[in-house]
Amino acid sequence: MTLISDLHDGVLTLTLNRPDKLNAINNDLALRLLDALRAAAADPGVRVVRLRGNGRAFCAGRDVSEPPTERDLELVQAVAQAIVRLPQPVVADVHGWTLGAGLEWMLDADLVVAGRSARFRLPEASLGVFVTGGLTATLSAMAGLARARSLLLLGEAFDAQQALEWGLVYRVVNDPDREEASRHVATALAALKPEVAQAFKRVMNQIGLPAFDRAIEAENEAQRLLGTKPGPT
């Protein structure tokens, strides 16, 4: 099972479960996550979604051991849109390597709790492929255009403390405390009236991420113009 789902007191925890691959994304994982998010959107018993990874990492991007296809791009983009459009807030719980599409999905969440072990990188430009996940909108909105340009073009690794200073994560904690911290945040959100939490998410995304849908379209077009299929990130 590439995705584990658990609902408790209004918090739906979705766990990426390919620990031997550092939770690298293949089509099965992406499709299962997409289905789970779509089901959550229609479930009044779900007040918050908490997204985490099993094993040593949150998500190491796309699985390089499988040949890339156009379907890879479609599913990665569909999951990103599902996270942003989900009525309920999404809390990402990240640790270890969080790369490429994994980092893109993290930034699509509403709040991010990171363990100090978290390490981030966007290697797409060095690999000759383009980013996905609406990253050209989310990263610029959170970190500013100048910082986004450097992270995207140079692809340098950065750590949890830097991510906090740049506005990419909400909180950094010691790794043994990470699970409890992310559950605490999710529980606090679940205690809000659903209509209130959902209104805040909807309006803040409308105002703060007005270019998200256009970013998805532009990223898809950039993939086509580069003449490359989705790469190994």
How far apart, in whole angstroms, are the C-alpha atoms of residue 137 and residue 3? 27
- Token readout for 139 is 């990263």
Query: Cα separation of 129 and 66, whole Å?
Result: 16
- Cα gap 200→59, rounded to integer Å: 28
Q: 34 and 73 in contact (C-beta within 8 Å)?
A: no
d(C-alpha 231, C-alpha 76), whole Å: 12
Alpha-carbon Rg of the chain, whole angstroms?
16
Name the residues annotated as catalytic: 104, 124
Beta bridge partners of 93: 52, 113
> Mapping DSSP to helix (H, G, I), strand (E, B) and coil, where does residue 204 land?
helix
> Comparing C-alpha atoms, which of 219, 106, 80, 208 is closest to residue 158?
106
In sequence order, what E strands does 54-150 have? 90-94, 97-99, 111-115, 119-121
